[in-house]
């Protein structure tokens, strides 16, 4: 079928995208490579479509399908979307992705190469042709471009060649793409999804959540977009949640189970009602966690998969609970985060917790007891603060302590739990003992970036203190604001403020942090403090925790890289990724920035950016099947090469 015919099929509703397909993930390099191959008449692969009745076809987008048989793209979405976007000048109605990937494509008439518009390079050079403009104007466009070229005598000498190349480029619309069809009454959604996964064996397969959502959208086409509204709203508030994560809560509310298979037979009205309730409960839980615990953004929001359990609990109480019940619920949430309860098998762990709630009639004490049995205890000990880096499990605990108590800013003396206005008042991690001074004395990276050396300050104060030694700035801040050091759990013995006493300082501060944590946990139990007082200390890992983000500067570099990757049209990575033992759920390492399923849907290999990490950590991650990059520059090159043909890749290497 000709490319032009395929595009017309999309316009008139004869071809569409099945609901279970993910969004458009190609970047500019892949679009450029596709047009380079088509222009040179190189093969670009066939298409696979599912021919099914339009009346029962769950498709993406708000366009109406033509009556009769419709072709749903199973393999070829990225290619066809790119062709449509460039030829039509805008995306098809089923589009979901980054339109910049195919916007402003240019073709150079002399060297016959495709590139995206660069003002300085292309603005005054008539040999750079706007591909979309040519495709939309057709033969009349050829005439207009030739008339412009004729103004330059040097270009006029090659008009014959240029006309041929313009017509060759227009010929992309007439290229025949082979289409294979999957059809027949036996091709149910389950069967077609299985075919899709087999065809895309080199890429990311559809998850159980994708399949569940596809079946939901078959009866309720607006489901995905409705869910996206809430996910986007939470993202604006500083939380990065996925559709799969939200669907978990919908599932627990509606079925009381974690497994998505229980959603398959539910009616659209039931799911819509459960989604509405789930979103309302999640909003309430986020407000509880932020308002009571101070965990108010994604970097400190641990135990995300405890939320579906809490949503089920809240729904069973009609969405309303008293203060004591709320705090006990939050006690369980914090305990789940500290011990990494949901770092292993998420589905089975959620099911266990839901089972306890079901069997006990919603008894939170039983839920807490199960956690005690799995962890060996509930009390926090100084040794639990042995971790280091911004990704350690007790990093959110330190932030929680800062927000829940009277921790005060070392510069202004104001409580950090209050709402502070202004950019310079946002909280930042501060190294109590400056890194440069510690490295000068040969302290290890893990020691320099130990949790015991972290506190939270306003940006303004962080800049003011800079690299001052504690023995220099501690007396000044304490004189200006008596008690401010104690409020940040800083030992008051001046001998411990010296660089040579740093290790002793860490041990003393860990004692204070553990004491403060247990006090905060006890406050959540009100008069039932025996739950914590009589508890054994939780097990302390003997594993040396590897990796981690060591500073705000490193975090900023990674966040900038992550944002750049998204701008290229690829998936967003996860900062401070928890690398756990698959059997025990024990935290083994913290990987700086990870794409666990690849940066694009057609690329299955997990990748990670690990800055200034040890060979042991890189070896551990590599053994787990993760491709590692040790600089952001190297990773950028990797991303830029995605989708290149072997010929392009070779040219890029040169």
User: Is 50 exceeded by the pLDDT of residue 424?
Assistant: no
Q: What is the DSSP string of 6-46?
A: HHHHHHHTSEE-BTTS------HHHHHHHHHHHHTT-----
**Is the model more confident about 272 or about 17?**
272
Per the domain annotation, does 187 fall within a domain? no
Per residue, the 3-state secondary structure of 467-523, as one string, reads: CCCHHHHHHHHHHHCCCHHHHCCCCCCHHHHCHHHHHHHHHHHHHHHHHHHHHHHHH
User: Is 70 exceeded by the pLDDT of residue 557?
Assistant: yes
Domain check: are 85 and 164 in the same one?
A: yes
Domain check: are 402 and 334 in the same one?
A: no
Domain check: are 296 and 242 in the same one?
A: yes
Q: Among the listed ranges 138-142, 539-543, 595-599, which one has the minimum average pLDDT value? A: 539-543
User: Is 90 exceeded by the pLDDT of residue 402?
Assistant: yes
Per the domain annotation, does 539 fall within a domain? no
Distance between CA 108 and CA 122 in Å, rounded?
9
pLDDT at 583: 59
Domain check: are 370 and 388 in the same one?
A: no
Per the domain annotation, does 188 fall within a domain? no
Per the domain annotation, does 483 fall within a domain? yes
Domain stops at, among 359, 375, 391: 375
Distance between CA 68 and CA 88 in Å, rounded?
25
Average pLDDT of the residues in 130-139:
91
pLDDT at 393: 80
Band (pLDDT 50/70/90 cuts) for residue 19 is confident
Average pLDDT of the residues in 264-288:
92
User: Is 90 exceeded by the pLDDT of residue 229?
Assistant: yes
Distance between CA 50 and CA 77 in Å, rounded?
13
Per the domain annotation, does 589 fall within a domain? yes
Per the domain annotation, does 224 fall within a domain? yes
Domain check: are 66 and 36 in the same one?
A: yes
Domain check: are 225 and 364 in the same one?
A: yes
pLDDT at 490: 96
Domain check: are 216 and 346 in the same one?
A: yes
Per the domain annotation, does 211 fall within a domain? yes
Q: Among the listed ranges 229-243, 282-296, 510-524, 569-583, which one has the minimum average pLDDT value? A: 569-583
Looking at mean pLDDT, say which of 317-331, 419-433, 591-605 comes out highest: 317-331
Band (pLDDT 50/70/90 cuts) for residue 318 is very high
**Is the model more confident about 417 or about 8?**
8
Distance between CA 262 and CA 265 in Å, rounded?
7
Domain stops at, among 503, 533, 563: 533
pLDDT at 602: 43
Q: State how many domains the chain has.
A: 4
| Domain housing 249 | 205-375
Average pLDDT of the residues in 204-218:
70
- Mean of pLDDT over the chain: 85
Domain check: are 439 and 585 in the same one?
A: no
User: Is 90 exceeded by the pLDDT of residue 18?
Assistant: no
Q: Contact, 638 vs 629, CB < 8 A? A: yes
Domain check: are 497 and 596 in the same one?
A: no
**Rounded CA Rg of the chain:** 29
pLDDT at 476: 95
Domain check: are 251 and 116 in the same one?
A: no
Domain stops at, among 332, 354, 375: 375
Per the domain annotation, does 195 fall within a domain? no
Domain check: are 148 and 101 in the same one?
A: yes
Condensed to tens digits (0 to 9), the pLDDT of residues 467-496 reads 899 999 999 999 999 999 999 999 999 999
pLDDT at 650: 35
Nearest-CA neighbor of 68 among 81, 82, 52, 84?
52
Domain check: are 371 and 387 in the same one?
A: no
pLDDT at 591: 85
Coil, strand or helix at 607:
strand
pLDDT at 299: 82
Condensed to tens digits (0 to 9), the pLDDT of residues 38-74 reads 999 998 888 888 888 877 666 777 777 888 888 888 8
């Amino acid at each position: 079928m000709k490319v032009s015919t395929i595009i017309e099929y999309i316009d008139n509703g004869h071809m569409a995208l099945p609901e279970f397909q993910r969004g458009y993930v190609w970047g500019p390099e892949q679009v450029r490579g596709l047009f380079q191959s088509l222009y040179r008449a190189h093969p670009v692969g066939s298409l696979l479509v599912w021919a099914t009745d339009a009346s029962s076809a769950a498709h993406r987008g708000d366009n109406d399908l033509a009556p009769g048989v419709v072709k749903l793209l199973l393999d070829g979405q990225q290619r066809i979307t790119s062709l449509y976007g460039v030829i039509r000048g805008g995306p098809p109605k089923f589009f979901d992705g980054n339109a910049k990937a195919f916007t402003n494509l240019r073709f150079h008439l002399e060297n016959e190469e495709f590139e995206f518009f660069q003002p300085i390079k292309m603005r005054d050079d008539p040999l750079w042709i706007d591909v979309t403009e040519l495709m939309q104007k057709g033969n009349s466009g050829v005439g207009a471009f030739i008339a412009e070229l004729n103004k330059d005598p040097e270009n006029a000498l090659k008009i014959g060649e240029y006309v041929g190349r313009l017509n060759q480029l227009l010929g992309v619309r007439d290229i025949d793409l082979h289409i294979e069809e999957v059809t027949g009454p036996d091709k149910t959604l389950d069967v077609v999804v299985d075919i899709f996964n087999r065809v895309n064996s080199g890429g990311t397969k559809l998850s159980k959540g994708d399949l569940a959502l596809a079946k939901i959208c078959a009866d309720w086409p607006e489901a995905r977009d409705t869910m996206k509204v809430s996910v986007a709203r939470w993202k604006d508030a500083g939380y990065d949640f996925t559709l799969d994560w939200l669907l978990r809560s919908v599932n627990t509310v509606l079925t009381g189970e974690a497994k998505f298979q229980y959603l398959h037979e539910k009616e659209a009205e039931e799911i819509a009602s459960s989604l509405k309730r789930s979103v309302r409960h999640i909003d309430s839980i986020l407000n509880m966690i932020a308002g009571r615990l101070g965990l108010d953004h994604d970097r400190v929001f641990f135990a995300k998969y405890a939320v579906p359990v809490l949503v089920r609990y809240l729904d069973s109480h009609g969405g309303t609970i008293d203060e004591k019940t709320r705090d006990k619920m939050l006690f369980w949430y914090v305990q789940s985060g500290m011990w990494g309860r949901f770092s292993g098998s998420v589905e089975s762990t959620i099911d266990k917790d839901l089972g306890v709630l079901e069997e006990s009639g919603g008894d939170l004490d039983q839920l807490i007891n199960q956690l005690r049995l799995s962890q060996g205890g509930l009390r926090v000990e100084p040794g639990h603060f042995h971790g280091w880096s911004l990704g350690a499990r007790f990093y959110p605990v330190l932030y929680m302590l800062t927000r829940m108590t009277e921790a005060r800013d070392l510069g202004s003396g104001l409580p950090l739990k209050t709402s502070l206005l202004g950019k310079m008042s946002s909280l930042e991690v501060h190294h109590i003992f400056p890194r440069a001074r510690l490295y000068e004395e040969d302290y290890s990276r893990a020691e320099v970036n130990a949790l015991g050396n972290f506190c939270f300050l306003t940006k303004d104060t962080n800049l003011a203190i800079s690299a001052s030694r504690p023995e220099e700035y501690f007396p000044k801040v304490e004189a200006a604001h008596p008690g401010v050091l104690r409020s940040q759990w800083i030992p008051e013995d001046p001998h411990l403020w010296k660089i040579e006493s740093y290790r002793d300082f860490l041990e003393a501060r860990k004692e204070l942090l553990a004491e403060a944590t247990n006090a905060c946990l006890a406050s959540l139990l009100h008069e039932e403090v025996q739950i914590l007082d009589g508890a054994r200390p939780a097990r302390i890992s003997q594993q040396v925790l590897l990796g981690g983000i060591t500073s705000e500067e490193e975090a900023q570099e990674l966040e900038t890289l992550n944002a750049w990757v998204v701008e290229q049209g690829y998936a967003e990575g996860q900062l401070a990724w928890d690398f756990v033992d698959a059997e025990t759920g024990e935290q083994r390492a913290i990987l700086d920035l990870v794409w666990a399923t690849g940066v694009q849907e057609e690329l299955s290999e997990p990748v990670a950016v690990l800055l200034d990490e040890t060979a042991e950590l890189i070896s551990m991650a590599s053994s787990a099947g993760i491709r590692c990059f040790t600089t952001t520059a190297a990773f950028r090159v990797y991303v830029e090469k995605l989708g290149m043909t072997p010929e392009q890749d070779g040219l890029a290497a040169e």
